[in-house]
Amino acid sequence: MCTRSLKMPARYRRSVSAGVGGGVLAALLALLLAAPDATAGEIRAAVRDRDGKPVADAVVVAVPAAGTASASHPGVAEEDQRNKEFVPHVLPVQAGTRVSFPNNDNIRHHVYSFSPAKTFELPLYSGTPASPVLFDKPGVIVLGCNIHDWMVGYIYVSESPHFAKTGADGKATLGGLPGGDYTLRVWHPQLEGGEQATARQLAVPSSGAVDAATTIGLVPDFRARRAPTPGRGGY
């Protein structure tokens, strides 16, 4: 079992710019940013379904009661297309993040979203589109490919910088949290009912961890089938 410890999603890239001659300063700054915050608290979240099975690909979001005004600058994230699937299946990002959609298949894809949080279309392309897509409105974006109807992916845009995605063990760690009161929410592509129904208040200590176990109901996933269907037509 491995617990994922993510201040930001693994695919998230944050860049630190350094001027000419500022290499040492930049390295020190990077070390400071990478060093664990001795005064930070963390939430060890565990998400299970009603049968007690761990739920992977659930997004756990912690919203500070004091508001989400954050000086953090979301970077660029990637939503790949590999072997005619979106990888990762669920990509959590902070509002304001730009997401690029590199196509790593040797065929072309046509990516689109009808979701109110972000409606966009990347007509037939191969390689990586020139400019990433900006996701500035919190919400869930359902991705599709118009060439391969079975391809479905999700981008969860969080208003809070504190979020993480559960691994196969249903666990996620939200670290680097300033102590205080938070609202914890869980979202999953098959979540039964609304995300708000999972909201709960949680006090996070200034240092140390707090456990948060959540049980969610899941609805069946009836996405288009990729595998061929036997017995279609014919005499």
Partner 1 sequence: MRFGDRVACVALGLCATQASANLLDELGVELVYDDNLTRAQLARDIKGDLALAVSGEAGPRFQLTDYDSLSVKASVTGTKYRHYEGLDNLNAGLALTYRRKFGLGPYVPQFALTGSATRLEYDSRLRDGWLYAAEAEASKRVSDRLALHAFVRSERRESDHTPERVVPFIRANVFDLGSRSVGIGADFACAPRYLVSVGYTWHRGDIVSTTQRNLPIFLASSAIAADPVFGNNTFAYTMRARTGVASIGVSREIGRQATFGIGYEYRNSRADGGIDYNGSLFRATYLYGF
Q: Does 221 bind partner 1 (CB under 8 A)?
A: yes
Return the number of the residue (181 or 192) whose C-beta is nearest partner 1. 192
Question: Which residues, in sequence order, are CB contacts of 3 under 8 Å at separation 6+?
Answer: 44, 167, 169, 171, 172, 173
- Rule CB under 8 A: choose which of 32, 71, 130, 232 binds partner 1: 232
Q: Does 224 bind partner 1 (CB under 8 A)?
A: yes
**Cβ at position 130, least distance to partner 1 in Å:** 18
- Rule CB under 8 A: choose which of 112, 132, 169, 199 binds partner 1: 112
- Rule CB under 8 A: choose which of 29, 36, 121, 208 binds partner 1: 121
Query: If you write DSSP's letter for every residue of 89-151 in order, what string do you get?
Result: SEEEEETTEEEE--B-SSS-EEEEE--TT--EEEEEE-B--SSPEEE-S-EEEEEEESS-TT-
**Cβ at position 140, least distance to partner 1 in Å:** 16
Q: Number of C-alpha atoms within 13 angstroms, CB side, residue 202?
A: 29
**Cβ at position 47, least distance to partner 1 in Å:** 20
**Cβ at position 141, least distance to partner 1 in Å:** 14
Q: Does 106 bind partner 1 (CB under 8 A)?
A: yes
- Rule CB under 8 A: choose which of 22, 23, 36, 123 binds partner 1: 123
Order the strands of the 200-204 sheet from edge to edge. 162-165, 59-64, 180-187, 200-204
- Rule CB under 8 A: choose which of 13, 53, 66, 114 binds partner 1: 114
- The count of residues interacting with partner 1 (CB under 8 A) is 31
- Rule CB under 8 A: choose which of 21, 52, 67, 233 binds partner 1: 233
**Cβ at position 85, least distance to partner 1 in Å:** 8
Q: How far is CA 186 from CA 65, 145, 207, 216, in A?
A: 16, 26, 23, 8
CA 203 to chain centre: 23
Tokens matching residue 233: 């037509």
Q: Does 89 bind partner 1 (CB under 8 A)?
A: no
